Amino acid sequence: MKKGFFKFTGLVILFVCANTLVNAQTADKINVVSTAVPFLRISPDARSGGMGDVGIAIASDANAVFWNRAKVPFAPMAGGVVVTYTPWLKDLGLNDVYLASLGGYYQLDDNQAISTSLRYFSLGNIQFTNDRGDALTTSNPREFAIDLGYSRKLSSKSGLGIALRYINSSLAKGYIPNTSGGGTTYKAGSTVAADLSYYYHGLDDAGQGFTFGATLSNLGGKIAYTSDAQKDYIPANLGVGVAYTKVFDEDSKITFGLDLNKLLVPSVPTRDGNTLAD
């Protein structure tokens, strides 16, 4: 079983790498993919942030609610809560831009668990201007997401997790005029999204071994900030991760981890000046 599992892991990683390489070689220039509510892709916990945003397959704790819900039944404690506060753009002298998060889980029994998380992103105080640079009004944009998840072991070595998330983004409100005599009425945007995740737990009783995870996150509808037909994609993502933990003694161990992510959002088409038919 282990041999088949590692073959599967290798094929997944090879596919993602090959897909990335082909895209890079066929593009003449960088085509940046942008989405709404990008705060959903910010690492909220210090351990994963310090490991280069690796969190899909590393050992489970309360932060698993932000990375891979399927890990929660394998957490060593029956329940846990985590609270984090992350200043953002501190080096630019901004003191009111930050990400705050709250997460927790509770294992109903040896095989299943429920969990929840809240992420709140403040963009600070922003001065709005028109296209001539004239000051119009000030605002305090903010975004948040709250979710509820359920996880269950499929066996002693693997599990699945699901989560349903409500997302709200208030970047601007009210009518903002422009110099041509018109203007746009902005409103808070909201949508609903879901996560689906898998986790393979290959650690022995000492906590040593391989772990693997795969997630589909933020699968949901687009978000709109105006009353017109223009809507923006949210950062739907496919992620796979693998980790290996080596235990030396009761007080020391080392973990090697790798996460690969692919945004499931179409890129902006490259224009060559030719007219394209619908």
Return the SS3 of 171. Answer: coil
50, with CB counted inside 10 A (0-12, 13-18, 19+), is exposed
Q: Greatest CA separation found in the chain?
A: 72
Query: Residue 11: its pLDDT value, please?
Result: 43
Letter for the amino acid at 77?
A: M
Region 217-234 average pLDDT: 90
Number of other CB atoms surrounding residue 206 within 10 Å: 11
Model confidence pLDDT, tens digit, residues 55-109: 999 999 999 999 999 999 999 999 999 999 999 888 888 888 999 999 999 999 9
> At 213, phi and psi to the nearest 5?
-145, 155
Distance of CA 183 to the CA centre of its chain: 33
Region 119-132 average pLDDT: 83
Query: Comparing 91 with 275, which gets the higher pLDDT?
Result: 91
Q: Is the pLDDT of residue 36 over 80?
A: yes
d(CA 89, CA 96): 9
In sequence order, the 6+-apart residues with CB closer than 8 A to the CB of 261 are 237, 238, 239
Q: Is the pLDDT of residue 161 over 50?
A: yes
Query: Residue 29: its pLDDT value, please?
Result: 61
For the chain, give the mean pLDDT: 85
Number of other CB atoms surrounding residue 19 within 10 Å: 12
Stretch among 159-173, 178-192, 244-258 having the lowest mean pLDDT: 178-192
